[in-house]
Chains A and B, each alone.
Chain A
């Protein structure tokens, strides 16, 4: 066996889980959440929506195919969802010390070390998941056995996470190509950028609180993002203003919540959120369903929508709102990742 240091995960409610340290050897603190996605740890760890969180992966064997080298294409990382690891720490059951894959450049362990992110393995992740499921997501910390350092713990839900992950200045892609789409970056995933930049549109990526209404554009996309939408008042105000000019608006994940708020609806915190690749969603009033990837802790309360609006998608597991649209104007949004429903981008572009 590889010689490993013991470590433990301590939850806010006092529960402890014993395991072993890997990755960066330093304690960490954050909101502990679980994801039931069975693959895709390079993508999950770099997903800005996990900003400030400790991620527990329910699939027990992790690290199998290593981590690819970070290749950049058209200004966007080819394999990662952002330019760094966003989680505070990673919690798993069994770590594969040896990886095997043609496009792997390094091990998960090495990648975590380079990014100064601790990991812990040997944890009963199923038990942890059940604790989080029953008690709701909560704060927790990872402490290695010989570590005495005091940790300053910050609950990501009381901090504006969007501000931390959003771009700091305006970035343009596909300049001069077709209509102009403003992408309001609340922590946009690269997969959305990759899909969007493949279309015949110019993409103007702006910081979450940028007043894009002053810009010349044809349509607005509001991206995904981490944490509590209540922090994004500036964004909501800007969206409200944008809706006045009837240009098409398409919200994704956090974008669904912000568009909803701009339309006057309320959001609420889900007990343990949706963080899976298998959320079943139905297009309201049809027999068409989609299996979707999701990552959010808050949801829109569809009952608080104004009379001009209607739900567009609903979650088949818990009935929560998965998307809304305006009854007469070109405004709509989805609560899930657009993989698998990429036609929505085309529908949006057609409206421009």
Chain B
């Protein structure tokens, strides 16, 4: 083995759809593997909220864009001997391939650890890939290009019906379709040839099963398949959008061995050294198959496979990259047997995607071949019914399982089954209730009947429960079956104790719980050990199930453990930052001599890596399950303030049931969460807040609006469709929103809040102990209030805040901390106009910006908060943000490109999927680094401007002048053009799509890629105005042209790239900022 002492690891940057937290997990594992060997690790990843970019993980961290330019600069400076490309998703892989192609890897004599770049390229290029697999007689999906009818018929015959035919070079699917036989083919092909001289004939794999294998190969050619997985949804739905189970459920021994053998053959032939994912389409009527694609790197599926089996794929892959053989490594689950093994599961896992489509204006809800989900969960159990019901609860979208939910409205069930949306699983439930049979649903969805039969079992049990009216009628056997099928106590309560549950959901649930315990029906804790119990396991990777009699583990009952509740599925507004908080809380708990127990179910996280804690319960964060685990563990207490809103919402209930909540008391958490209580407290403390009122009639709404004036922020408590919040600028909009989107009534009141324009938004992240603030960080938004704090660009320490404002904010925060007797982390959001300060909201938990401010300040606020909560001694930090000689900028990552038709505009609802945080010697440098990190590019030449209302136009004038002076060519639409010219800034006028007779058209310039950057500021937030620029904004996203829709951010970015040349950007690691 060649001696390597320093390696460079490329991260995946900000979380985005298709590339999320799983790469924090794989990167962290790779770093662990390197440290294990005493190798120094250099990490490039601008995602400041990750665990891998934390102190004590990588040795040196660069918060820089993962692009060839910056990576080369770091290589030049650090001179590593090896580079790891497989642990940072497609971002790292693409960057690595580029570095290889341009000869940079060779130039710096950098050894690629693991799969060679040429092998990666063979898998990435469709044609190369097909050719490579042809060499070993492995079938791939191929199209035959034909130019006449006879050839089309011959091609179809060779491929076998059904086939798809497509007219080549025709947009929008003209002349495409399915043909089940020759007759249909002839008919359609004749039509297709009228559109195009060439027609592509492809085998139709519609309705085939989708199967995945995770394969590992070492340099000695030893191969193992660690996990196989089956999609619940048939081919046609992206695997990231599918419900997935592991191991495969409907394949026979011979089928699985066939696919396993092929997977190994492929991996050997391609020359993988490390980990690889192989995706298959698999016929439902024979053993026929096609390879869809392979990923020669760690992937979402490999993270899932690691969590599904307990086999640490990324760790092993990293070690193999260093030259180890699989047989030389140990299986970390047993500690005695080798890593050359194929795990055997004695449970089933189910992955379900989490969508947040309601956050986006105009997006299509249909799910299909492109990924739209923003997070995922994994449930573990011993029946399919159990995992699917657990999983439905885990995705956290208000459902309690497969049955006993609020009825959804489906106009056309047939259509909804045929064309799946993010609601698919609930449509199936609805269809069963409407009398559809398994066969009918199968015909419409092509979901394997095995899955549907199991779902139908749940329906049957649901009906049996529904027929009962009290616990006296509920037999032991039925209750036991229901629990084995994953029914929650709440579901059972809703079905049996109908009235009681309708009045008070917790009462019903607790009554069922009491009754169930009296019958001795209790969940058991089982271990995930990679060997299905064949050998004793050392790991504490656990789940709960009702299919079992005995626990696998023993409980110490010594009150020496502390349970930390994790963050659940990543969603818009809650993602990797809470994983960082959870991991840091666990680490602190362990450092202080306690046992740390984690509950979480998100397979993309580091907190669910079983060696991060003493015990990992990979299970639900529901009231019921947390009580179950608490009953068994009997811990000292529970931390509910580091996992975001899910644990925070449980605080009051847990407290009421005798659980020791560590940190701020539950009643104070409630005082901050309850709008009325919080507001009256602020009044009492004489702290200003925007005027608001909860109203239940339209006339009350008008009366209130007359008082505060437009615009107002409207938050309905019951949403029919669309966004949950909206800003209304006039009466028409207000009426439209409240009539169309929401419902105003006594039962469903609406909260109307005065909306301050051109106000600064300020974040106060802090830690308090018994009401005393012990550390804090004040940061300011670049954008004015109105952009959700999760989408805003945040600057820390603040550079443009009056000292007086900061002083007042501190004072108010101290008052609040004292009034709520806060112990632990908290966050307050302020509005400031001049020195006038209002409190918008207060969360008595860690906030999204905790990792960012902690890392910029170099004070770990979570460590401090955890010590305060568990009553361990700590040192009050003396450093203040004003001492810092550098600036941090947190910028948001949007995934609009994935969300077809969504309007890429920012508003009061959060839309970003991730973030980065970069450091710079001044604001400009930090802004530039962070904007480049979230995918912006410094424009070459042409910039398109539509600068919004008068205020925004004025705000952008200086920036526009700067661009013109720098030699950029400006193009502008009507009013913006006029304004520029009037102010002596040269610009060319371009026209809106609504002015079709005029030239040049803005849209043409975008589609012809003549524009390098688009600044498009919506005039106001009215629907009309939003639609006006929609086409331009959408085109910018679809053609991958950097787009900015906020005037203040646009100014900041323009300022940055006009004043800071790329070459002058400092290549400094985190520890060099002192």
- Chain A contacts to B: CB under 8 angstroms: 1, 17-18, 34, 36-40, 42-43, 58-61, 64-65, 68, 79, 93-94, 96-103, 122, 124-127, 129-130, 133, 276-278, 280, 282, 287-289, 291, 316-317, 339-340
Contact = CB atoms under 8 A, between A and B. Distances in A.
A210 B534 CA distance: 37
Contact of A125 (B346, B383, B449): B346
Nearest to B524: A124
Nearest to B247: A38
Nearest to B341: A280
Nearest to A1: B481
B221 to A, nearest CB: 7
B339 to A, nearest CB: 9
Interface string B223-261: 010000000000000000000000111111110110001
Interface of B: 220-222, 224, 247-254, 256-257, 261, 284-286, 325-327, 336-338, 340-348, 382-384, 438, 448-450, 453-454, 457, 460-461, 464, 478, 481, 484, 524, 526, 531-536, 547-550, 552
Q: 6 shortest A-B CB distances, which residue pairs? A: A40-B253, A100-B450, A98-B453, A36-B532, A287-B220, A129-B533
Contacts of A103: 252
Contacts of B343: 278
Contact of B384 (A42, A61, A130, A277): A61
Nearest to A130: B533
A193 to B, nearest CB: 16
B450 A133 contact: no
Interface residues of B, dominant DSSP: loop
Given A64-B249, A289-B222, A94 B383 contact: yes
B568 to A, nearest CB: 25
A288 B220 contact: yes
Contacts of B222: 287-289
A277 B248 CA distance: 15
A317 B346 contact: no
Contact of B327 (A61, A124, A126, A280): A280
B406 to A, nearest CB: 26
A276 B460 CA distance: 36
B284 A126 contact: no
B344 A276 contact: yes
A5 to B, nearest CB: 12
Contacts of A79: 254
A17 B549 contact: yes
Nearest to A99: B450
Contacts of B286: 102
A133 B536 CA distance: 9
B326 A289 contact: yes
A102 B344 contact: no
Contacts of B453: 96-98, 100
Contact of B547 (A18, A60, A99): A60
Contact of B250 (A42, A64, A288, A339): A64
A124 B549 CA distance: 6
A317 B333 CA distance: 13
Contacts of B254: 79
A40 B457 CA distance: 24
A260 B1068 CA distance: 66
Given A130-B533, A278-B343, A61 B348 contact: yes
B250 A65 contact: yes
Nearest to B248: A39
Contact of B340 (A36, A39, A94, A280): A280
Contact of A39 (B251, B383, B484): B251
B543 to A, nearest CB: 11
Given A98-B453, A287-B220, 11 more contacts: A1-B460, A17-B549, A39-B253, A61-B348, A65-B251, A94-B382, A102-B285, A125-B346, A277-B344, A282-B340, A291-B342
A38 B344 contact: yes
Given A287-B222, A289-B222, A276 B534 contact: yes
A59 B345 contact: yes
A278 B257 CA distance: 12
Residue among A124, A127, A289, A291 with most chain B CB within 10 A = A289
Contacts of B340: 280, 282, 289, 291, 316
A122 B326 CA distance: 37
B341 A278 contact: yes
B450 A98 contact: yes
Contacts of B534: 34, 36, 58, 129, 133, 276
A148 B315 CA distance: 56
A18 B220 CA distance: 48
A129 B348 contact: no
Contacts of A291: 224, 340-342
B257 A339 contact: yes
A97 B453 CA distance: 9
Contacts of A97: 453
Nearest to B460: A1
A126 B383 contact: no
A133 B714 CA distance: 63
Contacts of A17: 549
Contacts of B460: 1
Nearest to A132: B533
Given A1-B481, A64-B249, A127-B550, A96 B450 contact: yes
Contacts of B383: 60-61, 93-94
Contacts of A65: 250-252, 450
A38 B337 CA distance: 19
Contacts of B448: 100
